[in-house]
Chain A
Amino acid sequence: MTSQALKLRAGLFAVATVLVAALGAWLLFGRGALPIQTDLLALLPATEQNPLAEAAVERLAHANGDRMVLLVENADDARAKDAARALGKALAAQPVFDTVTAELPPFDLAQMVAPYLAHRDWLLADADRAALAQPGYDPAQALAQRLNEPFLTGVGVPLADDPFGWLQRWLAQQPWSRSPLLPEDDLLVAHQGDVTCVLVTATLKGSSYDDAVQRHALAALHTAELQIEHDYPGTKLLRTGAVFYAAAARAGAERDVHMVGWISSLGIALLLLAVFRSPGPLLQAFLSTAVGVVAATTVSLLVFGQIHLLTLVFGAALLGEAVDYSIQYLSARANAGAQWQAGRGLRQVRPALLLALATSLLGYTLLGLVPFPALRQMAVFAISGMSAACLSVFWLLPALLQRPAKPMTGALVRGARALQHALARPAHGWRGALLAATLLLVALPGWMQLRHDDDVHQLIAQPAGLLAQETQIRAITGLGNGSQFYLVQGHDAEQTLQREEALEARLQALVDDGKLEGWLGLAGMLPSQQRQARDHALLARLFDDPAHLRRTLADAGFRAAAIDAWLAAWPGTPLQLDEWLKAPLSTPFRQLWMGCHAQGCASLVLPQDDADDALLAHAAAGLPGVQLVDKPASVSALFGRYRGYASVWLLAAMLLIVPVFGWRYGWRRAPRVLAPPALGIALTLAALGYLGQPLTLFHWMALMLVLGVGANYAVFLHEGEPHAVDRPGAMYASVLLSALTALLSFGLLSLSSLPALRGFGLTLLLGIAFTALLVPASRAGSVAPCVRRQHSSGTA
Chain B
Amino acid sequence: MRRLIAFLLLSGFAAAAFAQADQPLLQSVLAELGKHAAVRADFTQTRENPALDKPQSSEGRLLFVLGHGMLWQTTAPYQETLALTGSRSARIDADGRVHPVRSERGVSQVSQMLQGMLGGKLDEALRQFNVEASGTPAQWTLRFVPRQERVARVLGSITLQGDNYLQGIRIAMQDGARTDIRFAHTRDAGPLDALEKRALGSP
Contacts and interface: CB of A to CB of B under 8 A. Distances in A.
Interface in B55-91: 55-58, 72, 74, 77-78, 80, 82, 84
B124 A191 contact: yes
B14 to A, nearest CB: 8
Main secondary structure of the interface of B (DSSP, over half): mixed
A77 B103 CA distance: 27
Given A127-B102, A172-B2, A559-B51, A151 B56 contact: no
Contacts of A153: 47, 49, 177, 179
Interface string A178-197: 11001111100001001000
Contacts of A150: 45, 72, 82, 84, 107, 110-111, 181
B52 A557 contact: yes
Contacts of B105: 172, 177-178
A646 B17 CA distance: 66
A65 B130 CA distance: 41
Contacts of B160: none
Contacts of B56: 144, 147-148, 556-557
Contacts of B173: 155
Contacts of A144: 56, 58, 77-78
A174 interface: yes
A155 B8 contact: yes
Contacts of B98: none
Contacts of A267: none
Q: Among the interface residues A77, A106, A126, A173, which one has the most CB atoms of the partner chain B within 10 A?
A: A77
B128 interface: yes
Contacts of B52: 147, 159, 556-559
Given A147-B56, A186-B148, A173 B4 contact: no
Interface in A119-162: 125-127, 141, 144-145, 147-160
A172 B150 contact: no
Contacts of A185: 15, 127, 147-148
A588 to B, nearest CB: 13
Given A148-B77, A172-B2, A178-B2, A155 B106 contact: yes
Interface string B1-38: 11111111111001101000000000000000000000
A177 B47 contact: no
A156 B110 CA distance: 15
A109 B7 contact: no
Contacts of B138: none
Interface string A652-696: 000000000000000000000000000000000000000000000
A126 B53 contact: no
A558 to B, nearest CB: 6
A184 B15 contact: yes
A107 interface: yes
A157 B1 contact: yes
B123 to A, nearest CB: 7
Contact of A127 (B8, B80, B82, B101): B101
B171 interface: yes
Interface in A524-568: 556-559, 562
A743 B54 CA distance: 91
B55 A557 contact: yes
B153 interface: yes
A157 B105 CA distance: 15
B93 interface: no
A163 interface: yes
A512 B100 contact: yes
B154 interface: yes
A145 B4 CA distance: 21
A106 B8 CA distance: 15
Given A144-B78, A184-B11, A191-B124, A152 B110 contact: yes
B102 A109 contact: no
B16 to A, nearest CB: 12
A156 B53 contact: no
Contacts of A106: 150
B103 A177 contact: yes
Contacts, number: 155
A152 B181 CA distance: 11
B113 to A, nearest CB: 10
Contacts of A178: 2-3, 105
B51 to A, nearest CB: 4
A151 B110 contact: yes
A107 B153 CA distance: 11
Which size bracket describes the interface of B in this complex? 35 or more
Contact of A173 (B8, B14, B53, B103): B103
Given A106-B150, A144-B78, A145-B78, A154 B49 contact: yes
Contacts of B154: 109, 155
Contact of A125 (B4, B45, B102): B102
A159 to B, nearest CB: 4
Nearest to B110: A151
B203 interface: no
A421 interface: no
Contact of B150 (A107, A113, A168): A107
A126 B102 CA distance: 9
A179 B147 CA distance: 22
A250 B15 CA distance: 44
Contacts of A62: none
A592 interface: no
Contacts of A160: 50-51
Nearest to A159: B51
A173 B102 contact: yes
A176 interface: yes
Given A148-B74, A152-B179, A113 B110 contact: no
Contacts of A168: 1
Interface string A92-131: 0000000000000011110011000000000001110000
Contacts of B4: 109, 112, 155-156, 177
A171 interface: yes
Given A109-B154, A150-B107, A154-B177, A174 B1 contact: yes
Q: Among the interface residues A112, A156, A172, A558, which one has the most CB atoms of the partner chain B within 10 A?
A: A172
A150 to B, nearest CB: 5
B17 to A, nearest CB: 8
Contact of A152 (B11, B57, B107): B107
Interface in A559-589: 559, 562
A182 B123 contact: no
A184 B148 contact: yes
A721 B72 CA distance: 96
Contacts of A127: 101-103
A113 B4 CA distance: 11
B107 to A, nearest CB: 6
A113 B58 CA distance: 29
Given A156-B5, A182-B10, A557-B54, A148 B72 contact: no
A185 B151 CA distance: 10
A297 to B, nearest CB: 53
Interface string B144-170: 000110100110000000000000010
A159 B49 contact: yes
Interface of A: 77-78, 106-109, 112-113, 125-127, 141, 144-145, 147-160, 163, 168-169, 171-174, 176-179, 182-186, 191, 194, 512, 556-559, 562
17 contacts: A78-B17, A107-B150, A127-B102, A151-B9, A151-B171, A152-B171, A155-B5, A155-B106, A169-B103, A172-B104, A173-B102, A178-B3, A182-B7, A184-B11, A185-B15, A557-B56, A559-B52
Given A158-B51, A182-B7, 4 more contacts: A159-B52, A177-B1, A178-B2, A178-B105
The 3 closest A-B pairs by CB, nearest first: A171-B1, A172-B103, A177-B2
